[in-house]
Amino acid sequence: MSLKKMEPDWWIELESTYRERIAERKHLYTIHGKTILDSLPGSEKACYELMEMVLQFLCVRYPKLFHFDEKTGMFQNFILGSQSSIKTMDPLMFLLEHVPEDFLITQEDRNTGLYVLMAGVSCSAVGWNMATKMGKTLEEIHDPVPDYKEKMQFSMNRYFSKMPCEKPIQRGSWSLEIGQPLFLQPNDPHFKLRAEQLPHLDINDIYLRVDWQTLRRLPVSKAIVFNFKALFTPVTRFETEPYIPRLLAQVLRGSKSSFLEYKATHHVVHKLLPALDKWARAQEEKGWVPKGWKERTLDEDPFFPGWEFHKNN
């Protein structure tokens, strides 16, 4: 699962695409309704608690961008030039309209002790939606994940039952996409591209999608909240990132077929692998990567050698 400790001060990060993402989320909800946002009876307190936590975080973390008046209950969003009444607004709608991230709320079933998805807003789902997950246990939600039942089910159930409020965690989940589809369903024509290898596919149209995910327990309701956002990086950027072409090529060649099928890599590997090999050879020739280097997790994980230079330039 590659779980890591989360720094609470960086729970929700805003990007330059904020306005566009919020507009996209509203548009998706208008079209898809409950497949984007839904809740079950019994989740009301947890939803409200989550909204309060997010609201307080935004106002403290970004005081020049957001403001909340406790007396009037009015929330001001200076980026969008809007204000909302927290007293009357649905908590999940607040998250949809002000935070470019998705939130899923799970709560313990007192009869079974298992955690069940009770509420959420999800605009960045590929191949699934809220309607397919509502009311299901962790095992049922992760049914498509290879080896989940055999290798992760028991430990995840135990982790959820014991997770403390003060120790949130994070991880990244990746996939390879043509373009930058945020919300993609099986009946969408774009989804069918995953079933074929287009001979004229342009390497510039292939993106690495990373869903950056966090997990934390709410202190009052004790619900566990899973939140995530999708980030897209053009794979052509890997040409100048040392080690990355070799690492990704090894994953694509050495992973189990069930894993690669789940990651839906088939539709891009015919163009991506030759490019990765070419970039890897060039990096060795330039001395960026030692010749004969054996693929492994980098010491700089989750970054790569020289990332400071690339970040500043």
CB 118 within 8 A of CB 46: yes
pLDDT at 279: 97
Q: Provide the whole-model pTM.
A: 0.86
pLDDT at 159: 73
Q: How far apart are CA 106 and CA 183, in angstroms?
A: 21
What is the arithmetic mean of pLDDT over 37-44?
96
pLDDT band, very low/low/confident/very high, at 239 (cuts 50, 70, 90) = very high
Q: Residue 62: its pLDDT value, please?
A: 96
pLDDT given for residue 146 in this prediction: 60
Strands 115-121 and 37-39: antiparallel
pLDDT of residue 312: 59
- pLDDT digit string, tens, across residues 44-95: 999 999 999 999 999 999 999 999 999 999 999 999 999 999 989 999 999 9
Alpha-carbon distances of 123 from 42, 87, 97, 185, 294, rounded to whole Å: 23, 24, 11, 11, 39
What confidence score (pLDDT) does residue 149 get? 65
Q: Given this model, what pLDDT does residue 139 score?
A: 83
* Confidence at residue 141, expressed as pLDDT on a 0 to 100 scale: 83
Listed ranges 3-7, 213-217, 272-276, 294-298; the one with the highest mean pLDDT: 272-276
Q: Domain coordinates of the chain in residue numbers? A: 4-195+211-234, 241-313
- Positive or negative torsion for Cα 194, 199, 201, 203: positive
Q: What is the pLDDT of residue 8?
A: 85
Is a pLDDT exceeding 80 seen at residue 307?
A: no
Residue 100: is its pLDDT beyond 90?
A: yes
281: pLDDT confidence band, cut at 50, 70 and 90?
very high
pLDDT at 163: 85
pLDDT category at 295 given cuts 50, 70, 90 is confident
Number of Cβ within 10 Å of residue 164's Cβ equals: 9
pLDDT band at 205 (very low <50, low <70, confident <90, very high): very high
pLDDT of residue 227: 93
With 90 as the cut, is the pLDDT of residue 202 above it? yes
Report how far residue 313's alpha carbon sits from residue 309's, in angstroms, rounded to the nearest whole number. Answer: 6
Sign of CA dihedral 87, 90, 96, 101: positive
The residue count for the chain = 313
Are 76 and 66 a contacting pair, CB within 8 Å?
yes
SS (H, E, C) 77-131: ECCCCEEEECCCCCHHHHHHHHCCCEEEEEEECCCCCCEEEEEEECCCCECCCHH
Q: What angle do CA 204, 128, 45 make, to 5 degrees?
A: 120
The 10s digit of each residue's pLDDT in 7-22 is 888 899 998 999 999 9
Residue 119 or residue 187, greater confidence: 119
Residue 190: predicted pLDDT: 84
Asked if the bond preceding 302 is cis, omega within 30° of 0, the reply is yes
| Segment 142-201, tens digit of pLDDT | 776 766 666 666 677 777 888 888 889 888 888 999 999 889 888 888 888 888 899 999
Longest Cα–Cα distance of the chain, Å, equals 65
pLDDT of residue 158: 77
Supply the pLDDT for residue 150.
61
